[in-house]
Amino acid sequence: MRATRSVAPFAWLLLGGAAACATSGDPGAYGIGGGADVSVDTGGDGEPPDGTALAEAGDDAEDAAPLEASADSSATGKTCAGLADGTPCGPVPDVCHAAPVCSGGVCGAPAPKANGFVCAPAPDGCHSEGTCSSGVCQPPPDKPDGTVCASAPSACYTSGTCSGGVCGAPAPRADGYNWSSGDFTAICCSGSEVHADTSSNCGACGIKCNASNGESCSLLGGHYFCRGCVASSACWSKCCSESFSPFSCAASDCAGNCDSTYCPPGTHCVVGAPSSSDYCSY
């Protein structure tokens, strides 16, 4: 309610007198604090113009009253009034939820993203990416055992594979593995690519030809032997077979029996007759 704009005549006389005393040098005589500016404009004729002066202070106080909050504010503090449906109205809470949007003038709750949405990167080669499930980001799962996770350094190594979410190191292939199709001399020895036609690996890994015994690696009946031997005791097999010339260090007991005793690990004795001496093979 606005203050009344009428002042009774006797009240005016009292106030007029108080004003007169105040201006005479005693501002506190009527309980008015020193320095307070209390005056009534009489219009110069001793009468208030229209009785409005006393109500102005009340008008100003009313005008300064706080405004009420908007009724359509959402819990996020964002109003959806006048905004189209689908307009974002709040922050994204996490990677597996979308931002809340306006719908019918109301700011809705954040919606979960579709199951399978990628929410976390794969930490290594033995884990898949983490994905959302019902609004929750699931930890990256293990990839199936046997999944290749590390490249082989050469043809004589297998690739590293996963086992229980852990990447195994590349492993050397078994000795004798043929690392070049079409070339039977191309074999792996302790993880190295070699050719089995040299005096260091003659026919198999580790068979060495003894040059001091006249030996060198050469082909006989489709297989490589240390040939040219003189003494059996100096051969790697302890048998210098005289079945073919030049003589060959054979995988034999030198009594006509195939013998794997001196063959390298992973090999066995193969009867070479009638085209060659006995030899070691993978």
- How many other C-beta atoms can be found within 10 angstroms of the C-beta atom of residue 177? 18
pLDDT, tens digit, 9 for 90 and up, residues 230-264: 999 999 999 999 999 999 999 999 998 999 999 99
CA-CA distance, 233 to 25, in Å (whole number)? 143
For the question of whether the overall pTM of this predicted structure is more than 0.85, the answer is no
pLDDT-derived band at 121, boundaries 50, 70, 90: very high
pLDDT, tens digit, 9 for 90 and up, residues 183-232: 999 999 999 999 999 999 999 999 999 999 999 999 999 999 999 999 99
The better pLDDT of the pair 143, 76 is held by 143
What pLDDT does 51 receive?
44
Residue 233 has φ and ψ, to the nearest 5°, of -60, -20
Who's near 131: CB < 8 A, 6+ residues apart?
Answer: 115, 116, 117, 118, 119, 120, 137, 138
Q: Cα dist. 72→27, 80, 102, 237 in Å?
A: 52, 7, 11, 98
Q: Is 234 exposed, middle or buried (0-12, 13-18, 19+ CB in 10 A)?
A: middle
Burial pattern 27-57, b for ≥16 Cβ within 10 A else e, equals: beeeebeeeeeeeeeeeeeeebeeeeebeee
Summarize the confidence of residues 5-17 as an average pLDDT.
35
pLDDT-derived band at 137, boundaries 50, 70, 90: very high
Listed residue (171, 172, 167) closest to 145, CA to CA: 167
Q: Which of 39-53, 71-85, 223-237, 246-260 has the lowest mean pLDDT?
A: 39-53
What pLDDT does 5 receive?
40
What pLDDT does 195 receive?
98
Q: What angle do CA 199, 191, 183 make, to 5 degrees?
A: 60
Listed residue (168, 166, 172, 127) closest to 150, CA to CA: 168
pLDDT-derived band at 79, boundaries 50, 70, 90: confident
Listed residue (97, 98, 94) closest to 86, CA to CA: 98
CB 264 within 8 A of CB 204: yes
What pLDDT does 266 receive?
94
Q: How far apart are the first and last CA of the chain?
A: 111
pLDDT at residue 56 is higher than 90: no
